[in-house]
Amino acid sequence: MASITNIYSLKPFKTQWRVHVRILKVWKQYLNGVETLEMVVVDDMNQTMHVSLKKEYIKKHENVSEEGLSKIITNFQVAHNGGKFRTTPHVCKIQFASTTSIRPAEDIDPNILGLNFVKFSDIHEGKLNPDFLIDVVGQIVSIGEVEILNVNKKQTKRLTMEIRDTENVRLNCVLWGPYASNLESLATNTTEAVFVVVLRFSKLRLYQGVWSVGNCYNCSTVLTNPDIPEVLAFKEKLPADGVTLSYTHPNQLTIVSSISVRDDFFLHSPRRTISEIIAASEVGKCVTMATIMSIDTEFGWYYMSCKTCSKKVFPHDMDAMREKYPGRPFKKQLWKCGKCNTDVEEVIPAFMLTFRVMDNTGETKFLLFDKLAMEVVNQTASQLTQSVDEIQDPDVLPMSLSNICGKTYLFKVAIESSNIVFNSDTYKVMKIVTQSDLVKEFSEISVSQNTIEAKHEEHVLTSLTTEAPLLLEDDYEDVKTPSSKRKSNDSEEIGNDSGELSVASKKTKNDFKNGDDAKHTVMKPVKKEKTDD
């Protein structure tokens, strides 16, 4: 009988190997239409290794390949480990052959998990190869709420949070699908002041120059406040600064069952042409498709906002302030924030974009505040201005703003009493859809058929979503992993077998907060004809 080899020593030159391992993770994968069973195992030396079973061997072995079980695996191929989703740093993986056996074995200490936590500073410095899935441990310092997004016409959930490591380096963490809702409910119900999350086999992403981690389909595992030595040691080393879990939107802790952007535009909101919007005699909301002709700069394109509360601030006359308080130095410009009811130094530019828009029935103006504008521009106002002052020459537009002209998007707008009573020709935008396939689809549905056809299609999509995995952009495109082997018994573990996963799609972000911003903004456009543009 062959002796046990430690995982570290496995090499491709032969197949008569025998290893004693514990199964950490099992899932099914569909790569380019080929079904395989994938596993990650660990031995008692804390070494992990990837295991792959071709379709023809799945049936024979899947029933005994449960997460948490210890096994002896004998006679297998050792193949090179490659690709964009490497679960372990081991250069090789175990590939089952027809002669491979997998048999019960003595339990390996359940505290041996093969965890290999990375430093967040190494992530930010780009030191890690994103082809390798990584383990991170972090204290959640802020958490958002589950958003429901449309990705490739299917709804998916997304939860964004910020975590920190023991050196107080922060990292954005984005969970998708069931991972998002599971973690949100755990975080909402926690009584722990320090809430620690472990993401195993998570995927690094670089988006617009910023690194983040998230679950990688259904092969990731999320543990919250697990009672394991590594996490207890992590908690010990956290800075003793009293930072605890905070919620990005404290009034909305429960899972938002908000309707998707797609439903909103295709089903729930009345569709109007621009001439119908102008002629409206009642307040309300509607959706429309319009082309941006130009950016109206009468009121500028950004305003200065309070860094604390995001509301508009007004500059003090510093000369007058120095006269009034001769003893005080006043090194920086002070701004009056009406909401904080104080003078603030920390201010930041925020978008306020007025689009001149048209369709084939008429023209009007649409007003977008900061968050919505960012979805269109894909940059923040401060990135564009590089300024901490009020606008000086409103007609000088950054290229990324002028580039928007000519684009056709879907808008959900509010018809308010100012529009009806005071004939204001500027309508506040509540939501925007820039995704070209949705815009195209919207344009192809004639108004009269709108409701029936869209409802039918939505029904089909909904039923698909429950079974089929989402297809993803860029490097995710060729991989689908629709089912994990089993659900864990561990209530703290979030490993879900529905396989609903996705990637960020900034442009379809479902955002309900902008109407509120608009209400608080002092700048109120009035109807005024301009003839020079």
Question: Where on the chain is the footprint of Zn ion (CB under 5 A)?
Answer: 306, 308-309, 337, 339-340
With contact defined as beta carbons under 8 Å apart, do 472 and 504 qualify? no
Nearer to Zn ion among residue 338 and residue 398 (C-beta) = 338
- In whole angstroms, the minimum distance from the beta carbon of 303 to Zn ion comes to 13
**Residue 249 beta carbon to Zn ion: minimum distance, rounded to whole angstroms:** 17
The residues, ordered by sequence, that sit 6+ positions from 11 with a Cβ below 8 Å of its Cβ are 78, 92
Closer by beta carbon to Zn ion, 237 or else 339? 339
| β-sheet bridge partners, residue 31 | 34, 479
Indicate the residue among 94 and 337 with the shorter CB distance to Zn ion: 337
Shortest spacing between CB 334 and Zn ion, in angstroms? 13
- Of 441 and 517, the one with the shorter C-beta distance to Zn ion is 517
Residue closer to Zn ion (CB basis): 59 or 519: 519
Separation CA 365–CA 345 (nearest Å): 33
Minimal distance, residue 321 CB to Zn ion, in Å: 18
Identify which of residues 342 and 463 has a Cβ nearer to Zn ion in the complex.
Answer: 342
CB of 142 to Zn ion, least distance (A): 19
| Cβ nearer to Zn ion, comparing 169 with 340 | 340
Decide whether 21 or 306 has the Cβ nearer to Zn ion. 306
Q: How far is the CB of 313 from Zn ion (least distance, A)?
A: 7
Report the DSSP beta bridge partners of residue 197.
138, 224
Q: In the complex, what is the shortest distance from the CB of residue 310 to Zn ion, in angstroms, rounded to a whole number? A: 7
Tokens standing for residue 152: 């490739």
Please give the Cα distance from 47 to 40 (Å, whole number): 10
Rounded CA separation 178/42 (Å): 26
Q: What's the token pair of residue 183?
A: 């973690």
CB of 301 to Zn ion, least distance (A): 21
Nearest residue to Zn ion, by Cβ distance, number only:
306
CB of 243 to Zn ion, least distance (A): 22
Closest CB to Zn ion among 314 and 325?
314
State how far the alpha carbon of 272 is from the alpha carbons of 232, 376, 411, 437, 532, in Å.
58, 22, 10, 20, 29
**What string of DSSP letters covers 405-453?**
TT-EEEEEEEE-HHHHHS---EEEEEEEE--HHHHHHHHHS-TTTHHHH
Q: Partners of 380 in the beta sheet?
A: none
CB of 248 to Zn ion, least distance (A): 17
Cα–Cα distances (Å) from 163 to 155, 211, 223, 273, 525, in that order, read 26, 13, 14, 45, 40
Compute the least distance from the CB of residue 340 to Zn ion, in Å. Answer: 3
Cβ 350 to Zn ion shortest distance, Å: 12
Widest distance between CA atoms in the chain: 94
Residue with Cβ nearer Zn ion (335 or 427): 335
Place of tokens 């008429």: 362
Taking the least distance from each CB to Zn ion, the nearer of 322 and 339 is 339
Give the residue with the Cβ less far from Zn ion, 258 or 308: 308
CB crowding 4-37: b at 16 or more within 10 Å, else e: eeebeebeeeeeebbbbbbbbbbbbbbeeeeebb
Nearer to Zn ion, 68 or 338 (CB): 338
In whole angstroms, give the CA distance from residue 430 to residue 440. 20
Please give the distance of CA 17 from its chain centroid, rounded to a whole number: 43
Closest approach of Zn ion to the CB of residue 26, in Å: 51
Smallest gap from Cβ 306 to Zn ion, in A, equals: 3
Q: Which of 410, 295, 289 is nearest to 352 (CA)?
A: 295
CA distance 129 to 123: 9
Residue nearer to Zn ion on the CB measure, 31 or 334: 334
Q: Which residues contact 51 (CB under 8 A, 6 or more apart)?
A: 38, 39, 40, 41, 73, 93, 94, 95, 96
Q: Are 162 and 142 in contact (CB under 8 A)?
A: yes
- The Cβ-side half-sphere exposure at 405, using a 13 Å CA radius, reads 11
- State how far the Cα of 201 lies from the Cα of 29, in Å rounded to an integer: 15
Q: Are 57 and 47 spatial neighbours (Cβ–Cβ below 8 Å)?
A: no
CA nearest to 50, candidates 81, 15, 19: 81
364, two tokens = 């009007």
